[in-house]
């Protein structure tokens, strides 16, 4: 159950090889810089009465957009759902998370923490974690995007599996467009595709 991930960690934007689009665009860089300064590069689960938003990437008209979102799903206008909704298991996307599964995003990261193990890709390369989202209208009329990080079984024999049985569902670059495509239904076929596609990159995660 992953409850901590982020970018860099020193409070400053760092050079990220092969950065995820649209992170290199000026507007995205400004948003990330402000977030890094405020949060030190660490994504935090938002408490019920706190406003602690984290960057996500989702499809927009004609491309992608980077925005800040609440890490704990809202399914209606009443606030965060009562049950644990910051992680969502890949094998339950079609049951517990069927509606949010139709609205997907990526969480840009260079590390995640599980059971005191800090995991990265070689060279601390940036990667995208799968997420499902929900957008609600609050009482003041403003829109809020919320999200849940998708998790998977840590591959047998991997370093991640030595720490915990679950890990974030990290997607290779060739699956990003497919995952973000709003025309692609969230169904059993997509679940199977991302589970298979994430196997190699999941095994590449190591502790530092």
pLDDT per residue as tens digits for the range 12-69: 555 544 568 888 788 888 888 888 888 888 998 877 667 789 999 999 987 899 999 9
pTM: 0.93
pLDDT the model gives residue 129:
98
pLDDT above 50 (res 71): yes
30/141: higher pLDDT:
30
pLDDT above 50 (res 175): yes
Distance CA 146, CA 130 (A): 14
Characterise 86 by phi-psi region: left (phi > 0), alpha (psi -120 to 50), beta (else): alpha
Distance CA 88, CA 13 (A): 29
The neighbour count for residue 14, using CB atoms within 10 Å, is 13
pLDDT the model gives residue 17:
44
Read off the DSSP letter of residue 19: P
Confidence of residue 9 (pLDDT cuts 50, 70, 90): low
pLDDT the model gives residue 49:
67
pLDDT tens for each residue of 180-206: 999 999 999 999 999 999 999 999 999
Distance CA 147, CA 11 (A): 23
pLDDT tens for each residue of 76-121: 666 777 777 899 999 999 998 999 999 999 999 999 999 889 999 9
pLDDT the model gives residue 83:
75
Percentage above 70 pLDDT, the chain: 91
Q: Which domains does the chain have, with CATH numbers?
A: 5-201 (3.90.1680.10)
Segment 136-155 shows an average pLDDT of 89
Distance CA 7, CA 197 (A): 23
Characterise 8 by phi-psi region: left (phi > 0), alpha (psi -120 to 50), beta (else): left
Beta strands in 76-123 (DSSP E): 87-89, 104-109, 111-114, 117-120
Distance CA 47, CA 122 (A): 33
Confidence of residue 74 (pLDDT cuts 50, 70, 90): confident
Distance CA 194, CA 130 (A): 9
Distance CA 111, CA 119 (A): 5
- Relative to beta strand 104-109, strand 111-114 is unpaired
């Amino acid at each position: 159950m992953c409850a901590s991930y982020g970018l860099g960690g020193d409070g400053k934007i760092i050079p990220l090889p092969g950065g995820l689009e649209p992170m290199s665009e000026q507007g995205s860089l400004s948003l990330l810089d402000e977030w890094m300064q405020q949060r030190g590069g660490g994504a935090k689960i938002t408490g019920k009465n706190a406003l602690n938003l984290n960057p996500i990437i989702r499809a927009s008209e004609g491309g992608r957009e980077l925005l800040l979102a609440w890490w704990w799903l809202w399914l209606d206008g009443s606030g965060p759902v009562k049950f644990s909704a910051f992680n969502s298991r890949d094998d339950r996307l079609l049951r517990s998370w069927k509606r949010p599964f139709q609205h997907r995003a990526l969480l840009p990261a260079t590390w995640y923490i599980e059971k005191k193990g800090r995991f990265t890709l070689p060279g601390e390369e940036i990667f995208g974690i799968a997420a499902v989202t929900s957008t609600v209208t609050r009482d003041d009329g403003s829109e809020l995007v919320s999200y849940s990080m998708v998790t998977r079984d840590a591959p047998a024999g991997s370093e991640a599996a030595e720490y915990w049985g679950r890990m974030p569902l990290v997607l290779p670059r060739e699956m990003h467009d497919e995952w973000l495509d709003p025309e692609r239904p969230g169904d059993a076929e997509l679940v199977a595709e991302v589970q298979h596609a994430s196997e190699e990159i999941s095994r590449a995660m190591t502790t530092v």
